[in-house]
Structure formats: C-alpha cells, structure tokens
C-alpha cells in the first residue's frame, strides 16, 4: 500500500480524459494534475522544447511526493519518455505502448489509423510500437493540429459546426480505409462522438486517455502501490487561465472543480 498521490500531466485539458478514467477505476486515489495551459499546444514543438517542458512538469509534480508520474500526453510520450523515465525517481507511465496494444488487439483488417499532433505523427512512435506487435499491420498517420485549440477553447460540443468542418477535413480521407483508429492525442477523445459519427459504425476508436489510466492502474496494482482505502481527492494546477480551465474541466469531468492553482512553471 502507498498513500502518496498520483501525478498526472498534459499540455492542457486533454489529460483530463485520463483523470476521468483513473477516478472511475481507482476512486480511492488522490490525484495531482498539472495542465501546462500557458505553453499549450506541445504538439507543434520540437523534441528539445518538449523535453524541457516535460522535465519542468515532472519536477513540479515530484514536489507533491507523488508515487507515479502519468504522462497523459501522446506528444511527450512520443519524444520525451526516455528522458522522463531517466530523471524520475518514481515510475513513469506513457501512452503509446498501451494504446498500440489495444489497437493491435482490436483490428481485424490489419489497417490502423493514427490521429495525433504533428510531433506525435512525425515521430513515427506509433508505427514502431504497432509493428513491434504485428509487423504486417498497415498504419496510416494523420496530424490534426487544429483539434487541440478547438478543445482548449471549448469548441467540443457534438453539434459544434466549426469542429465538424475541421473533423471532416482530417477524417474524410481515412473513412473506409481503416477499421481501428487511435485517438493519439489525449485531447481527441473529447471529440470522440463527432469522430465516431464521421468514421461510421465498425471502426474501433482507441481512447488514449483511457488506455493510459488503465496502464497506470495496472502498474499501481502490480507493484503494490494502491492507496489504503478512503475517499480520493483531486487537485488541479495550470500555468495560465485558471478560470477557463476550471469551467471547461468541470464540463469534461462532470463535477465542479474548486481552486485551480496557478503555477509559474518556468521556475521549475
């Protein structure tokens, strides 16, 4: 048993898709979440910048004596997982491997699509992970850079016309060519309903926020690190726009959020 909190971070709101699932799977756990809203998006930036940001995010979370770091961000997991694992004294959970396993298990045609940020797609990490599992898979990547600003600005309602036009722009070419689609950015499950409508029935959507949470839950269980009962709590911190974050996070998590802390992340 280990009663220290679970540390989770992302560039902004996207990692809440992992928090939502973590709270469902492990309701006793205390969670400390950091969303780097002041520097979002990460997915348009290169490895050096993302490594620096991720190192600061991790140092901030380690200040809460967390027992695990959950990188609820495909972009960081694609280019900075090794650095994160080397610098962290506690276990680090990334996104890519568990999402690739879920996609590999789901596909029947062997044709998998990957949606992600520019950095995630150009890193080739999903192709590598999928081909390591099944060399015969056909993997088609598609960068969807406008999805993150849509979500961060609250344009994620199922009937949002702007989001729908952009989703068609990204997805129309993929429709009918894959039977499994990895939502390879934790912001994208927030648009899942719309993506499902466009892709049509019979396409399995892999929610990377959910997969990361399941991976973290497995790790805590296997290593005997689960909390010893009691009610779980969640604390939220961001690097800018606390009010916007609180408003949108409450919608995404389905419950009000109190006291979002503002962090000067450059100081870490």
Instruction: Please tell me the distance from the alpha carbon of residue 156 to that of residue 92, in angstroms, as a whole number.
Output: 30
The distance of closest approach from Cβ of residue 200 to ligand DGL in the complex, given in angstroms and rounded to an integer, is: 24
Q: Candidates 50-58, 67-75, 107-115, 134-142 — which segment interacts with ligand DGL by CB under 6 A? A: 67-75
Instruction: Please tell me the distance from the alpha carbon of residue 107 to that of residue 104, in angstroms, as a whole number.
Output: 6
The distance of closest approach from Cβ of residue 77 to ligand DGL in the complex, given in angstroms and rounded to an integer, is: 8
Instruction: Please tell me the distance from the alpha carbon of residue 30 to that of residue 48, in angstroms, as a whole number.
Output: 31
Q: Please confirm, yes or no, whether 185 is among the known catalytic residues.
A: yes
Instruction: Please tell me the distance from the alpha carbon of residue 170 to that of residue 243, in angstroms, as a whole number.
Output: 30
Q: x/- string (CB under 6 A) for ligand DGL, residues 124-163?
A: ------------------------x---------------
- Indicate whether 98 belongs to the interface with ligand DGL (CB under 6 A): no
**Which strand ranges, in their side-by-side order, compose the sheet holding 6-10?**
92-93, 68-71, 6-10, 31-35, 234-238, 261-262
Select the residue interacting with ligand DGL from 19, 70, 73, 199 (CB under 6 A): 73
Contact (Cβ atoms closer than 8 angstroms) between residue 42 and residue 145: no
The distance of closest approach from Cβ of residue 197 to ligand DGL in the complex, given in angstroms and rounded to an integer, is: 22
- Indicate whether 75 belongs to the interface with ligand DGL (CB under 6 A): yes
Q: Give SS3 for 67.
A: coil
Up-side HSE of residue 6: CA atoms within 13 Å toward CB? 29
Select the residue interacting with ligand DGL from 186, 212, 239, 242 (CB under 6 A): 186
Q: Please say which residue, 30 or 57, places its beta carbon nearer to ligand DGL.
A: 57
- Indicate whether 42 belongs to the interface with ligand DGL (CB under 6 A): yes
β-pair type (111-116, 180-184): parallel
Active site residues: 73, 185
List residues near ligand DGL by CB under 6 A.
Answer: 10-11, 14, 40-43, 73-75, 117, 120, 148, 185-187
């Amino acid at each position: 048993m280990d009663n220290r909190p679970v540390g989770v971070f992302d560039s902004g709101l996207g990692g809440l898709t992992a928090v939502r699932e973590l709270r469902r799977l492990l309701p006793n756990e205390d969670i400390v979440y950091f969303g780097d809203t002041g520097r979002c998006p990460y997915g348009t930036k290169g490895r050096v910048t993302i490594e620096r940001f991720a190192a600061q995010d991790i140092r901030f979370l380690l200040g809460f004596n967390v027992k695990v770091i959950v990188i609820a961000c495909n972009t960081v997991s694609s280019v900075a997982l090794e650095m994160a694992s080397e610098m962290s004294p506690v276990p680090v959970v990334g996104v890519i491997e568990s999402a690739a396993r879920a996609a590999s298990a789901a596909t029947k045609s062997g044709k998998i699509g990957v949606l992600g940020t520019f950095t995630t797609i150009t890193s080739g990490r999903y192709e590598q992970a999928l081909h390591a599992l099944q060399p015969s898979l056909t993997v088609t990547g598609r960068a969807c850079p406008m999805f993150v600003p849509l979500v961060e600005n609250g344009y994620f309602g199922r009937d949002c016309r702007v989001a729908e036009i952009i989703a068609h722009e990204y997805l129309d070419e993929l429709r009918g060519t894959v039977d499994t689609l990895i939502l390879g950015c934790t912001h994208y499950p927030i648009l899942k309903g719309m993506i499902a409508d466009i892709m049509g029935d019979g396409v399995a959507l892999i929610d990377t926020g959910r997969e990361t949470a399941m991976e973290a839950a497995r790790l805590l269980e296997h290593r005997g690190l689960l909390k010893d009962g009691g009610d779980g709590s969640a604390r939220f911190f961001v690097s800018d726009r606390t009010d916007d974050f609180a408003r949108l996070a409450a919608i995404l998590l389905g419950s009000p959020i109190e006291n979002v802390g503002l962090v000067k992340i450059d100081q870490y």
